[in-house]
Amino acid sequence: MRDPERTRASILGAAFDEIYHRGFHDTSVNEIVGKTTLTKGAFFHYFSTKNDLGYAIADEVLKEMVLERWIRPLAAYKNPVQGIISRFRKIIESTPDEHMALGCPLNNLTQEMSSVDPVFREKLRAVMQLWISETEKYLTKAREQGYLKPDVNPRQVAEFVVMVEEGAFAMVKNLRDKKVYWSLYGSLKGYLESISQKPTEQLSA
């Protein structure tokens, strides 16, 4: 007997991968089903349309990816600002060249679907809002703990940081040059240090 939750997760995983490589439009339900051990009938038991599957990818896969890659690791740092800098560095180091050419899954899906489908647009917007709000929480904490200058606006910095995290992937996808990542990393680090209150090296956990 199948475990429905596990089956659902395996469909989402296969679908995410196909869509990330080929785009939402160019990926068919048949191709997604072919990547699983299910029949097409069983697939439709889980997702009644391809769009429903796309929405679930935004609601479940992309939100989880954002939290797992960018947010949860910040809890391990005494100084959250240092955490944001370190996370960006580690993500650059661990991104395979293939993914660099493919870009950021959230940005790709937004570019492809947000002007076509308003439901998709809302769901993709919610992913980015979550990313910003969770980053903001850590920046608010950093300011409270004295790591950021008192006049810093955590929301404004969170919007800028997430824009850089996203925009860096888009630019590297365009230029196909990993060195640009490190250049952008250096600038983000310099920016965050310029709004920090004490030298970061004294503050890292």
Separation CA 48–CA 131 (nearest Å) = 29
- 91 part of the interface to a second copy, by CB under 8 A: no
Query: What is the full DSSP assignment across 61-113?
Result: IIHHHHIIIIIGGGGG-SSHHHHHHHHHHHHHHH--HHHHHH--HHHHHHHHH
Q: Cα–Cα distances in Å, from 40 out to 12, 18, 32?
A: 14, 16, 9
* Minimal distance, residue 156 CB to a second copy, in Å: 5
Give the residue, chosen from 32, 61, 84, 157, that forms a contact with a second copy under the rule CB under 8 A.
157
Among 45, 125, 178, 198, binds a second copy (CB under 8 A): 125
Is 9 an interacting residue with respect to a second copy (CB under 8 A)? no
Closest to a second copy by CB, 38 vs 184, is 184
The two three-digit tokens of residue 102, written as one number: 């493919």
- State yes or no: residue 30 binds a second copy (CB under 8 A): no
With left for phi above 0 and alpha for psi between -120 and 50, is residue 47 left, alpha or beta? beta
Q: Based on the shown chain and the rule CB under 8 A, indicate whether residue 174 belongs to the binding site for a second copy.
A: yes
190 near a second copy (CB under 8 A): yes
Q: How far apart are CA 31 and CA 200, in angstroms?
A: 49
Nearer to a second copy, 33 or 106 (CB): 106
Closest contact distance (angstroms) between CB of 4 and a second copy is: 32
Comparing CB distances to a second copy, the nearer of 42 and 102 is 102
